[in-house]
Amino acid sequence: MKRRLLLVSNSTLHGSGYLDHCQQQITNFFGKEVKKVLFVPYALHDRDAYTKTAREKFKTLGYEVESIHEAADPVDAVRKAEGIFIGGGNTFRLLKSLYDHKVLTEINKRVLQDGVPYMGSSAGTNVATVSINTTNDMPIVYPPSFSAIGLVPFNINPHYVDPQLGSKHMGETREQRITQYHEEPDTPTVLGLREGSMLLVEGDRATLLGSCKARLFTRGKPPVEYETGSDLSFLMTR
């Protein structure tokens, strides 16, 4: 399998600008072979403004950005893409738009069969997985299915946060919500990506990158912590 993925937890890290914390990983990932990146801004309402932000950032890294929402034919834009970047925002809005524009299957094909590099951040990372069932977002719109692009055989919870000692908040923690998800039968493993962390996938090899650990949740088992640099390739065969 030719897949190459860079799945980032968050677009902006506290104290830095848009994609600043992962810009070195982005240039390493897309390399010199990719000249133009197809940006998918469907997760936010103001797609023009979102595209402007992404275009300006990628220009500083040496890449031209074409936005799928500016294309006359979104499917054709995916078919011609050298690289794909799906940005963050609301995951339900994003997935519904991918279905509405009939590009979900085409993205899957381009990445898994043609080897087109795929980068996602936040919601863009959510939709790269089996389903969006472990997103943190509100269901502001209703996609025809929660099934996502399926570039990896597990789910991810971007922006994963740990319980705060001494907090008086009585709502469920993120870990409790993921545990509730795993109370349902046949639910896949969930990788909790904290702010600043990302997963690099090359074929069947997966490596945790970034500035902090990730927490792995498997149905019926206790959670496990993994350090930055860990080989998580075992997730690709689940």
**Residue 121 bears catalytic tag:** no
Q: How many CB atoms lie within 10 A of CB 211?
A: 13
In angstroms, the Cα distances linking 36 to 14, 33, 165 are 28, 9, 45
**Residue 137 bears catalytic tag:** yes
Catalytic entry in 11, 97, 121, 137: 137
Catalytic entry in 11, 67, 121, 122: 122
The length of the chain is 238
**183 contact partners, CB below 8 Å, separation of at least 6:** none
Domains in the chain, ordered, with CATH? 4-237 (3.40.50.880)
Whole-structure pTM value: 0.95
Residue whose C-alpha is closest to residue 101's, from 79, 74, 78, 76:
74
Catalytic entry in 147, 159, 182, 233: 159
The 10s digit of each residue's pLDDT in 27-49 is 999 999 999 999 999 999 999 99
Please determine, for residue 73, whether its predicted confidence score (pLDDT) is greater than 70.
yes
pLDDT of residue 12: 86
**Residue 159 bears catalytic tag:** yes
The 10s digit of each residue's pLDDT in 170-220 is 568 999 999 999 999 999 999 999 999 999 999 999 999 999 999 999 999
Provide the token pair at 122: 């936040």
